Structure 1
Amino acid sequence: MRLKPLALRMRPKKLDEIIGQQHLVGEGMIINRMVKARHLSSMILYGPPGIGKTSIASAIAGSTDTAFRMLNAVVNNKKDMEIVAEEAKMSGKVILILDEVHRLDKAKQDFLLPYLENGKIVLIGATTSNPYHAINPAIRSRCQIFELKPLEPKDIEKALQNAVENKEDGLGKEQIDLAEDAKSHLALSSGGDVRSALNALELAVLSSEKDENGIIHISLKDAEQCIQKKSFVHDKDGDAHYDVLSGFQKSIRGSDVNAALHYLSRLIEAGDLVSIARRLLVIAYEDIGLASPQAGARTLAAIESAERLGFPEARIPLANAVIELCLSPKSNSAYSALDQALNDLRSGASGEIPAHLRDAHYKGAKKLGRGLDYKYPHDYESGWVQQQYLPDKLKGKKYYQPKKTGKFEQALAQVYENLNKKQ
């Protein structure tokens, strides 16, 4: 009898077996609390393919004493749902794990609604589509909505190692030598999709011969062939991966569009969306900063679009973001100013908060001299009045040194200079 695919065999059966998604299933997080309290409500799990939606649904069901059934909104018909409903009437409650929940047609929706309303069926729907766009409001309003994130390479490496060692459901009955660079490549090249990584690992094992000692060796070359992506030197534990990221940021900082696109292509080829997203967001605030503050919001929107789309389409919003950041004016004045303030604080240069600025919202504050002589800026026509805000020890200190590389910061600089002249 042919074994089920490795990714299916390794699907978590309990909540504590889930890899990643700790913002939902970690200790003290919402789904973890719901399971421990044995009080499940209907929910929709959404996010890119292969990141654990159905696995979490199965683990939730497996962590309770409630009967559960798995259906697919495309494959299964209304009659299949009627069977689940009858079981719910008999037993009192059934958990229905429904894949492709956004594909429910009206007849199936109308049938399910009363059972969701009375709690006889607890729906755990899984979808790659944004439920706010793709799911009928009547269903959506009866469900909690939880967004899953793409898995990080370290999470996928853990899943691969578990598969190699697991003797019951994984590949542990064989002696497998999975090279570290091969494991890293599978994790990075899968683009956050653990199913893809496990399928590639299984193909590598099944297509490899044992050596004279009965060991199956999986090399980087094997991994490349099985996931059909050529390896760049991007081992997360080595210098080369960080060299690419460094070259990427420095090219954007230096406004070299072509170099930045080159390094972006390396990171895309490695499937490392997590590192790309983090680095772009840092760049938007570290290198562009107040010279073009709207770049931060647009970069975040591009990142969210890329995460929702997944590769290969993710490259489209990423390219837009990189070119905009390259050609934007640059300023590091904001965080440089904060770093100077932090340096003063850590070196002991802080001092007491002036008495007129201290909290005066309690009985006896006036007797202590708190809040006396504070001038409320809104009482003045210009919305500004001269008074001391810094502690005496730092009086007159100026951390912010504006750069006039963009129109926005030029305007800030003019206001800043005018205020300084009045002091």
Structure 2
Amino acid sequence: MFLKLIIRIKIRFGIDYTIERSNLLQPLAFRMRPRSLTEVVGQQHLIGPGKIIWRMVQAHMLSSMILYGPPGTGKTSIASAIAGSTKYALRTLNAATDTKKDLQVVAEEAKLSGTVILLLDEIHRLDKTKQDFLLPHLENGRIILIGATTENPYITINPAIRSRTQIFEVKPLTTNDMIQAIDRAVTDRERGLGKMNLALTAEAKQQLILTANGDLRSALNGLELAARSTAPSDDGVIHLTTEVITDSLQKRQITGDKNGDAHYDVISAFQKSIRGSDTDAALHYLARLIEMGDLPIIARRLMVIAYEDVGLANPPACERTVLAVQAAQQLGFPEARIPLANAVIELCLSPKSNSAISAIDAASARLAKGNYGTIPNYLKDAHYKGATKLGHGTEYRYPHDYPEDWIRQQYLPDPIKQDQYYHPKTNGKFEVAYGRQYLQLLKAQRGKS
């Protein structure tokens, strides 16, 4: 409590307390945060010469913004670089864990110093109380808000905040971006690991990049763990091999939690890959979903895909998909991956038809227009006493009483009696047969050619 009070008093008088903390207490990724835009790796579409954030900084005309993209790609780095380039104080809070009182401290500092940059992490978790407090300070420009999130702000962030900010997407880092940042951390003697006499092999560096999967924060902190946990050899050099790097990061990072925007991107790519008959891409996205451990969404999505994208072109594949899903649910992971892979491969290689979903959507669209008439009397329920007095069912012709169990008879209401919603496709032998039967019946029923 006492420590917190001292820190707040220092903030009130514009003192940056963060410089008092020992560098040894901060992770490598924290120490290597850029001090200017020129030190930011990647994101040249935002901070490169002549680009939008570069122009803001050059003109000292900052506006509040939301940066969104995968973890470890530079959202915090950009905020740090903007603060370093403009010499404004930078304060960091988390929308999920910090309180309204913490925001009030920043607002008080802004009143005294004129302008404060507030990096608000997980801004999509900002509740209404904090939002209502923050909005006037964004309006008067005392607080320059830089919101950071891995979620799509157009979906997860309140419109009141969105309307007062510019939204910028932070792209995944390239291999060259990662190499640049790692090399800088290895050689930097002031903030990095340059005093440690490291030898990082090319293969180990490549393994570090692959395992981090675009998350620079993870890569740098894994690199530091490897360096500090490895004893020097007889020549005084710390040799960082592929084995040491793999040990330090343990597991490739998979972007996307079960409720996050990135997760829905994987689901979308999964369905579109199957629809596009790309077996290898579909298996890749299936592996991602398996890695996330989300069996319920895999099961649901596979059944949707089966009936929406394959459908009448291969009905047995739809049935086998349901069986594969049931088997997977009974087995659980890791064995569940086997029937799931079977289903994915069959759906990818099956002929495709969306005629069923198109047909029901067309029928629903016609319904929404109204004026579709009433059900013909002879089709109405006639099981109760008095139905015949209403004329219900009296003229109905029972198809099984006629040759081939069919008789020409109108079933649609009068205003839409010529509507056609189903348009058969010819991609699979099943629908070819169904389509031929449908068109013959349609011609006989309505005299269509």
TM-score w.r.t. length of structure 1: 0.56
| Alpha-carbon distance in structure 2 between the residues aligned to 1:228 and 1:70 | 29
Note if 1:144 corresponds to 2:172: no
> 2:213, 2:103 → 1: CA distance?
34
Instruction: Give the match's secondary structure for 1:84.
Output: helix
Matches within 5 A, 1:153-192: 153-192=175-214
Kept in 2, the 8 Å contact 1:100–1:126? The answer is: yes
Equivalent position amino acid for 2:109 in 1: E
Deviation at 1:92, TM superposition (A): 2.3
Cα displacement (A) at 1:326: 5.7
2:50 is paired with a residue whose SS is coil
- CA deviations 1:208-262 (Å, max 9, x no partner) are 11011110001111112112249xxxxxxxxxxxxxxxxxxxxx9xx784x6667
User: What residue in structure 2 maps to residue 88 of structure 1?
Assistant: 110
1:32–1:322 CA distance, 2 compared to 1 (3 A): farther
The structural deviation recorded for 1:268 is: 11
**Distance 1:199-1:85 versus aligned 2 partners, 3 A rule:** same
Residue 405 (structure 1) shift: 9.1
**Structure 1 residue 267, shift from structure 2 partner:** 11
Distance 1:114 1:325, change over 3 A: same
Q: 1:28 aligns with which of 30, 37, 50?
A: 50
Alpha-carbon deviations, 1:165-190, whole Å to 9, x = none? 01111100011110101101111221
Cα distance in 2, alignment partners of residues 221 and 205 from structure 1: 13
> Secondary structure at the residue paired with 1:154?
helix
Name the CA distance, whole Å, in 2 between partners of 1:256 and 1:68.
Answer: 47
Alignment map for 1:47-58 (pairs within 5 Å): 47-58=69-80
CA distance in 2, matches of 1:266, 1:223: 23
Contact 2:278 2:348 in 1 (8 A): no
Aligned: 1:102 with 2:124: yes
Match of residue 8 from structure 1: 30
Q: What are the Cα deviations for residues 29-61 of structure 1, in whole angstroms up to 9, with x where unaligned? A: 111111111100000111111111111111111
2:231 aligned partner: 209
Quick check: 2:65–2:146 contact (8 Å CA) kept in 1?
yes
Match of 1:195 in 2: 217
Equivalence for 1:123: 145
Q: 1:133 to 1:66 in 2, by over 3 A?
A: same
Number of the residue aligned with 1:133: 155
- How far apart are the structure 2 equivalents of 1:83 and 1:196? 31
User: Does the 8 Å contact 2:123/2:149 carry over to 1?
Assistant: yes
> Residues of 1 paired with 2:289 and 2:132: CA distance?
43
Count of matched residue positions in the alignment of Structure 1 and Structure 2: 270
Query: How much has 1:136 moved relative to structure 2?
Result: 1.3
Which residue identity does 1:171 align to in structure 2? L
Which of 58, 62, 78 aligns to 1:40? It is 62
**CA deviation after TM superposition for structure 1 residue 110, in Å:** 0.6
- Structure 1 segments, 4+ long, off by >4 Å, are 259-269, 319-329
| Residues 256 and 142 (structure 1), Cα distance of their counterparts in 2 relative to 1, 3 Å cut | closer
Q: Is the 8 A contact 2:117 2:145 kept in 1?
A: yes
Measured in 2, the distance between the counterparts of 1:34 and 1:322 equals 50
Please say if residues 96 and 122 of structure 1, whose CA atoms lie closer than 8 Å, have aligned partners that are also in contact.
yes
Give the CA deviation at 1:327: 5.4
In 2, Cα distance between the equivalents of 1:137 and 1:260? 35
2: CA distance, partners of 1:267 / 1:78: 38
- What's the CA shift for 1:19? 0.5
SS in 1 for 2:108: helix
TM-superposition CA deviations, 1:51-106 (whole Å, max 9, x none): 11111111111110323322221232111211221222222222111111111111
Is the CA contact (8 Å cut-off) linking 2:351 and 2:427 kept in structure 1?
no
Gaps of 5+ in 1: 231-251, 270-314, 330-403, 407-423
* SS of residue matched to 1:44: strand
Matches within 5 A, 1:295-374: none
Tell me what 1:64 maps to.
86
Q: Distance in 1 between matches of 2:210 and 2:427?
A: 37
Match of 1:419 in 2: none
Q: Distance in 1 between matches of 2:129 and 2:278?
A: 55
Aligned residues of 2:223 and 2:245 also touching (Cα < 8 A): yes
Where do 1:184-333 residues align within 5 Å? Answer: 184-229=206-251, 257=279
Which residue identity is paired with 1:46? Y
Contact 1:154 / 1:187 at 8 angstroms: preserved in 2? no
> CA separation of 1:92/1:263 partners in 2, compared to 1, >3 Å: closer, same or farther?
closer
Q: Distance in 2 between matches of 1:200 and 1:223?
A: 7
C-alpha contact (below 8 Å) 1:78/1:107 kept by paired residues: yes
1:130–1:263 Cα change, 3 Å? closer
- Gaps of at least 5 residues in structure 2 are 1-21, 253-273, 291-336, 353-425, 429-449
Kindly state the Cα deviation for residue 128 of structure 1 after the two structures are TM-superposed. Answer: 1.2
Residues of 2 paired with 1:109 and 1:229: CA distance? 37
Instruction: State the alpha-carbon separation in 2 of the partners of residues 321 and 97 from structure 1.
Output: 43
Contact in 2 for aligned 1:46/1:129 (Cα 8 Å): yes
Residue 97 of structure 2 aligns to a residue whose secondary structure is coil
CA contact (8 A) 2:56 2:62 kept: yes
